[in-house]
Amino acid sequence: MNRIDPWWLVSLLLWLVPFVALLPLGFVWLHQHDAALYWFATIILCGLLGFGVQFWLRRRERAALDLEHTGPDPAWPPSADGAWTQVEELAETLDPADWPLDEEMRLGVLALRTLERVAGHFHPEVETPLLELRVPHALLIIERASRDLRRSITEHVPLSHRLTIGTLARAYRWRGFAERVLSLYRAGHLVLNPVGALLNEALGQLRQRGFAAAREDLYRWLLQEYVRQVGRYAIELYSGRLPLNDAEPVERLTRDSRRDLERAVEIERAPREHLEQEPMRFLVLGRSNAGKSSLINALFGHPRAAVDILPDTTRALTPYRLEHDGLDQALILDSLGAERLSYQTLHDAANVADAILWVSAAHRPDRQSERRTLQALRTALAARIDRRPPPVLVVVTHIDQLRPLREWRPPYDLTDTTCLKAMSIQAAVAALATDLDVPIAHVIPVCLAEGRFYNVEDTLWAALLEQMDRAQRARLLRCQVAQRRQENWTLLRRQLANAGRFLLAWPGRSSRHSAPP
Amino acid sequence: MERTGRWRRLSEALLNPRVDDRRLESALASARERAPVPLIWLIGKTQSGKTSIIRALTGSPAAEIGNGFQPCTRTARIYDFPATAPVVRFLDTRGLGEVDYDPEDDIRFGESQAHLLLAVMRACDLDQEVVLGVVRTVRQRHPEWPLVIVQTALHEGYPPDFEHPHPYPFDAEPSPAGLPADLARALRVQRDQAGDLPGRAPVRWVPVDLTLPEDGYAPADYGLEALWKAIDTLSALPLRHLLGRDSEVMDLFEQAAHPHIVGYALAAAGVGALPLVDLAGVPAIQAKMLQSLAALHAQTWDRRTILEFLGLLGTGVGIAYGTRMAGRTLIKLVPYLGQTLGAVWGASASGATTFALGKAAAYYLRRRNLALSTEARALRRVFADQITQGAKLLRESS
């Protein structure tokens, strides 16, 4: 302060005086014209309006923040739902005042608390569930979290690629000086223009309060996101979903699919292609003669499966490879009539399916057995908490056999109440939805009779592709379950082998052998 | 004096605008007890075409037909045909395999009532174990029940644009080459699935295709003739004769009137077999019959018409009518022997007179419909002829 020459200050003031004088002069002018009150009123009004706009902006921001938050992974098994509820609960009850930013260790404590909650959910039987973490998994989680942090900083913090840690440190050091200069400016202002400065101060306070509230919102959101992110990884970790190899689980073939693909190749007598990725598995179920094999042929667009009016043309489960636009690689499994399949076969087949196509004939209303089978299947699938049940689509076949019997003039508009056939089809679809207890949107009428293909390529495929999301999720979980089982064994085998080699190479061992006492 | 008394009693019953319902009801009930009407039990999966069969056999539109994709018969139902004085009764049970339906009670009920078992299967539905299971159990318990297995909806096995083969080829063994291969195989497989069914009474397999006229298959009741034949040869009931579905009966009105007349004649015969009860019951039944016949012919059955009809029949018939009634009533009063004799005579007599009265009325109403006057002599001849016809018919059906 003492480094500044007073004469310099005087010259600076001389420059400023005319401008500074404007304010009191203007005030005098206002006073003379009896307009001072109006001026004050305008100031207050503008201030209030500004505050209102800020308040509105803040609400909008908060709404945007609420929309933008981490949710549970849809691919999680149902067993993770409880853990996520706990994480959400913790996030909701956070008070930003309890977790000040400048105390660095506090955030670590918050993360630890989140981890403990999740670990406790998955391992309620042990006293310190946090220790149930396996060592390679802990290393993996650090790796992943760092990767995510890097990504979000590069993407969201402007100029972060130019920012060095040194810049950050310097900026922090200069902060004190900048604050001191600012308060000096404010003090000087008060001396030179008391009225304007007072008003400025008041407005500034008002603004700051608004911003402080907005900042608190943002901070709360950040804290909640933090807890959710940590919780998310913790759930991945403790539910045992994290495989130790980097590849996505669906990028490797499961044993079931490898076997089925080999059989499919054998059935088609096609040249063998090497397949690495796990295919989507569609299971076609239904009663004998409902049209399962015809459906498969229709999906392929050319005959693959044997079709006959007599039942039992299909062995228990016959796999076919299916390729279609919008579908990378799929196996479609044709089955015997559901009433002929043993419950175990049916259940096993459904367990390794990512989507189920239930084929039912429109003109066979004796659906008691179908209803029972489907219900049993659903109950069994819902009971597995480590898997999401695969989506079920009901395919209604033989719609050409509905009244009027001899009419077949597709396409039919099912909402057309003047067309008898369309009405019959619509009513049959509704009856099937009720009988089998499925939403009507999942019931697709098709015709598979020779030369009368209808609704397969457009509607059925569209419905299938619409279910693809749910099917993908089912596939992911299925692969994880299959791979965890496989991984445990391969790892154990490899570790034992390596340990053996290690022991063989143990220096003391060979010397002992070479030099017996 | 007795004979004119009976005649007057009939005239009174006729001229009375409403027959005493209570009396008629009790008369019909007692008649049913005496002479139980044959009951045909239909079993099959839901929408296999049971109700269509009933409708084709009786020609009655009362049997509601389903839409082909949804169960339609919600409860076990007995179709009396004709409704007021049945000649034959059908027990239509709910379709097997329907969602949320346990057929156990219906099966027990059917077993307690039926005389003839009609199993219905869609020809191309090869999953018939449920139906065959019931058939096997029922036949084991009632080996004497005749069994007709009807294979329906043949068109499901036709290639597109295929018409019903003519003449009806399914009687021939082996089936001729012209049949669609899928259909022929499906029919064969169903028979093989059934295997050797238990029971003494023979089993007949009849493929039919009962469609609606608007479905575009001609005729709409394909194979019905074969079904008639199977029922008539298998069972003791001359069903087709009772229902008036003879090829000889050409007139539509007569076709419709015949089962009604037979029904009332059977009821009258049943009531007539009871000593003394008939005195009150028979005229009520006959009056009711004439009323419904007039309704069938879409004619008003007012005092003038009745008086004209009775006048044409004349006192001669009146006396004959009276003596028959009086004679058997008196005979019945003779102890022991009279009971039996009177019952037989009374049964056939009141049955036969009712039958003849109905036929004469039908003749009279038909003439009126055609705006022709009826000669008294012709009417009396119809009455006299039909008394013998009626007696014959009642002997056959009892």
Instruction: Pick the residue from chain B with its C-alpha nearest to A428.
Output: B69
Q: What is the pLDDT of residue A259?
A: 79
Q: What is the pLDDT of residue A161?
A: 65
A378 in the same domain as A266: yes
The 3-state DSSP class for residue B363 equals helix
Start-end of H helices in chain B: 2-15, 21-34, 50-58, 104-113, 129-141, 181-194, 224-234, 239-243, 252-272, 277-296, 303-332, 337-369, 376-397
Q: What is the pLDDT of residue A274?
A: 58
Ranges assigned E (strand) in A187-248: none
Banded model confidence at residue A234, pLDDT cuts 50, 70, 90: confident
Whole-number Cα distances in Å, B199 to A436, B95, B137: 38, 24, 10
A141 in the same domain as A111: yes
**Residue A334, strand partner residues:** A318
* Sequence letter at residue A366: D
φ, ψ dihedrals at A360, nearest 5°: -140, 140
B137-175, pLDDT tens digit by residue? 888 988 888 899 999 999 988 888 888 988 888 887 766
Query: Among B382, B386, B380, which residue's Cα sits nearest to residue B319?
Result: B380
A338 in the same domain as A473: yes
- Residue A54 parent element (H or E): helix A36-67
**Residue A447, strand partner residues:** A454
CA gap A54, A211 in Å, rounded: 8
Give the lowest-confidence range in A261-275, B88-102, B109-123, B172-186. Answer: A261-275
Banded model confidence at residue A514, pLDDT cuts 50, 70, 90: very low
What ipTM does this complex have?
Answer: 0.74
Helix B252-272, helix B21-34: angle, nearest 10: 80
- Residue A355 parent element (H or E): strand A355-361
Whole-number Cα distances in Å, A7 to A10, A20, A191, B205: 5, 19, 18, 128
pLDDT at A445 over 90: yes
A321-336, pLDDT tens digit by residue? 887 776 767 888 888 8
Tokens representing residue B345 in the block: 């005579």
pLDDT at B2 over 50: no
Instruction: Pick the residue from chain A with its C-alpha nearest to B217.
Output: A406
Q: What distance, in Å, lies between the first and last C-alpha atoms of chain B?
A: 33
Query: Among B277, B168, B176, which residue's Cα sits nearest to residue B230?
Result: B168
Which one of A210, A239, A268 terminates a domain? A239
Residue carrying the six token digits 């203007």: A26
Q: What is the pLDDT of residue A512?
A: 45
Q: What is the mean pLDDT of residues A473-501?
A: 75
Write the CATH number for A451.
3.40.50.300
> Is residue A94 in a domain?
yes
Q: What is the pLDDT of residue A444?
A: 92
> Is residue A73 in a domain?
yes
pLDDT at A289 over 60: yes
Q: What is the mean pLDDT of residues B57-72?
A: 59
φ, ψ dihedrals at A454, nearest 5°: -150, 135
Sign of CA dihedral A263, A265, A269, A272: negative
Question: What secondary structure letter does DSSP report for A517?
Answer: -
φ, ψ dihedrals at A444, nearest 5°: -115, 115
Q: What is the pLDDT of residue A247?
A: 59
Q: What is the pLDDT of residue B104?
A: 79
CA gap B313, B375 in Å, rounded: 9
Tokens representing residue B340 in the block: 């039996």
Instruction: Pick the residue from chain A with its C-alpha nearest to B100.
Output: A368
Range of A210-214, A221-225, B358-362 with top mean pLDDT: B358-362
A440 in the same domain as A340: yes
CA gap B240, B396 in Å, rounded: 12
Residue B290 exposure: Cα atoms within 13 Å on the Cβ side: 30
Yes or no, beta carbons of B46 and A365 under 8 Å apart:
yes
pLDDT at B3 over 60: no
Banded model confidence at residue B127, pLDDT cuts 50, 70, 90: confident
Yes or no, beta carbons of B130 and A310 under 8 Å apart:
no
Whether B99 has its CB under 8 Å from any CB of chain A: the answer is yes
Chain B partners of A286 at a C-beta cutoff of 8 Å?
none
CA gap B179, A466 in Å, rounded: 44
Banded model confidence at residue A516, pLDDT cuts 50, 70, 90: very low
Percentage, residues of chain A above pLDDT 70: 73
Banded model confidence at residue A513, pLDDT cuts 50, 70, 90: very low
Rg (CA), chain A: 36
Residue window 280-339, chain B: list those with CB within 8 Å of chain A.
none
Which of B69, B124, B211 is the closest to A405 by Cβ?
B211
Tokens representing residue B181 in the block: 């291969």
Strands A443-445 and A392-397, sheet pairing: parallel
Whole-number Cα distances in Å, A482 to A235, A344, A486: 19, 19, 6
Q: What is the mean pLDDT of residues A313-318?
A: 69
Whether B184 has its CB under 8 Å from any CB of chain A: the answer is no
CB pairs under 8 A between A and B: 91
Residue carrying the six token digits 């697709």: A444
Yes or no, beta carbons of B95 and A408 under 8 Å apart:
no
Task: Please answer whether residues B239 and B231 qualify as being in contact, where contact means their C-beta atoms are separated by less than 8 angstroms.
Answer: yes
A440 in the same domain as A395: yes
Q: What is the pLDDT of residue A75?
A: 75
CA gap A342, A360 in Å, rounded: 19
Banded model confidence at residue A357, pLDDT cuts 50, 70, 90: very high
A389-410, pLDDT tens digit by residue? 889 999 999 998 888 888 888 8
Query: Among A396, A463, A467, A402, which residue's Cα sits nearest to residue A433?
Result: A396
**Residue A494, strand partner residues:** none
Task: Please answer whether residues A315 and A297 qualify as being in contact, where contact means their C-beta atoms are separated by less than 8 angstroms.
Answer: no
Instruction: Pick the residue from chain B with its C-alpha nearest to A371.
Output: B99
pLDDT at A450 over 60: yes
Instruction: Pick the residue from chain A with its C-alpha nearest to B98.
Output: A366
Q: What is the pLDDT of residue A153?
A: 62
Instruction: Pick the residue from chain B with its C-alpha nearest to A424.
Output: B67
Residue window 121-160, chain B: list those with CB within 8 Å of chain A.
122, 124-127, 130, 155-157, 160
Whether B104 has its CB under 8 Å from any CB of chain A: the answer is no
Q: What is the pLDDT of residue B149?
A: 94
> Is residue A339 in a domain?
yes
CA gap B267, B19 in Å, rounded: 16
Yes or no, beta carbons of A369 and B97 under 8 Å apart:
yes
Yes or no, beta carbons of B69 and A424 under 8 Å apart:
yes
Range of A86-90, A442-446, A475-479, B110-114 with top mean pLDDT: A442-446
pLDDT at B87 over 80: yes
Average pLDDT, chain B: 77
Q: Is the peptide bond before B219 cis (omega within 30 degrees of 0)?
A: yes
A226 in the same domain as A319: no
> Is residue A53 in a domain?
no
Yes or no, beta carbons of B214 and A431 under 8 Å apart:
no
DSSP letter string over A369-390? Answer: HHHHHHHHHHHHHHT-TTSPPP
Q: For residue A420, give its domain range.
A: 255-480
The domain B39-236 having CATH identifier 3.30.1320.10: the answer here is no
Task: Please answer whether residues A160 and A147 qualify as being in contact, where contact means their C-beta atoms are separated by less than 8 angstroms.
Answer: no
A330 in the same domain as A458: yes
Task: Please answer whether residues A442 and A429 qualify as being in contact, where contact means their C-beta atoms are separated by less than 8 angstroms.
Answer: no
Which of A309, A364, A428 is the closest to B186 by Cβ?
A309
Start-end of H helices in A367-467: 368-382, 420-436, 461-466
Which of B98, B124, B216 is the closest to A309 by Cβ?
B124
Yes or no, beta carbons of B68 and A402 under 8 Å apart:
yes
A259 in the same domain as A357: yes
Task: Please answer whether residues B35 and B87 qualify as being in contact, where contact means their C-beta atoms are separated by less than 8 angstroms.
Answer: no
Q: Is the peptide bond before B207 cis (omega within 30 degrees of 0)?
A: no
Q: What is the pTM of this model?
A: 0.69
Q: What is the pLDDT of residue B68?
A: 46
A152 in the same domain as A203: yes
Average pLDDT, chain A: 78
Pick the more confident residue, A454 or A154. A454
DSSP letter string over B287-322? Answer: HHHHHHHHHHTT----HHHHHHHHHHHHHHHHHHHH
Q: What is the pLDDT of residue A439?
A: 92
A277 in the same domain as A189: no
Q: What is the mean pLDDT of residues A445-472?
A: 87
Which of B95, B157, B182 is the closest to A366 by Cβ?
B95
Task: Please answer whether residues A221 and A69 qualify as being in contact, where contact means their C-beta atoms are separated by less than 8 angstroms.
Answer: yes
Residue window 335-364, chain B: list those with CB within 8 Å of chain A.
none
Q: What is the mean pLDDT of residues B359-376?
A: 87
pLDDT at B290 over 50: yes
Q: What is the pLDDT of residue A321?
A: 83
CA gap B117, A206 in Å, rounded: 95
> Is residue A181 in a domain?
yes
pLDDT at A282 over 70: yes
The three-point CA angle B358-B364-B365 to 5° equals 85
Task: Please answer whether residues A474 and A354 qualify as being in contact, where contact means their C-beta atoms are separated by less than 8 angstroms.
Answer: yes
Q: In chain A, how many domains are there?
A: 2
Range of A289-298, B173-182, B280-289 with top mean pLDDT: A289-298
pLDDT at A515 over 50: no
Q: What is the pLDDT of residue A164?
A: 63
Percentage, residues of chain B above pLDDT 70: 77
Q: What is the pLDDT of residue B62?
A: 58
Which of A287, A401, A403 is the closest to B127 by Cβ?
A287
Yes or no, beta carbons of B215 and A403 under 8 Å apart:
yes
Q: What is the mean pLDDT of residues A300-307?
A: 75
Task: Please answer whether residues A306 and A314 qualify as being in contact, where contact means their C-beta atoms are separated by less than 8 angstroms.
Answer: yes
Helix B376-397, helix B252-272: angle, nearest 10: 60
A29-64, pLDDT tens digit by residue? 988 998 888 988 998 899 899 889 988 887 887 777
A298 in the same domain as A152: no
Whether B50 has its CB under 8 Å from any CB of chain A: the answer is no
* Sequence letter at residue A405: L
Give the lowest-confidence range in A7-11, A166-170, B29-33, B87-91. Answer: A166-170
DSSP letter string over A23-38? Answer: HHHHHHHHHHTT-HHH
Q: What is the pLDDT of residue A158?
A: 56
Q: What is the pLDDT of residue A41?
A: 92
pLDDT at B206 over 90: yes
Q: What is the pLDDT of residue B259?
A: 85
Sign of CA dihedral A498, A502, A504, A505: positive
Query: Among B273, B389, B382, B385, which residue's Cα sits nearest to residue B331?
Result: B273
Residue carrying the six token digits 């999401």: A388
A465-478, pLDDT tens digit by residue? 888 888 888 888 88
Sign of CA dihedral A39, A43, A45, A50: positive
φ, ψ dihedrals at A407, nearest 5°: -85, 130
Banded model confidence at residue A356, pLDDT cuts 50, 70, 90: very high
Chain B partners of A364 at a C-beta cutoff of 8 Å?
45, 47, 122, 125
CB neighbours of residue A107 within 10 Å: 15
Q: What is the pLDDT of residue A167?
A: 62
φ, ψ dihedrals at A379, nearest 5°: -60, -45
A355 in the same domain as A319: yes
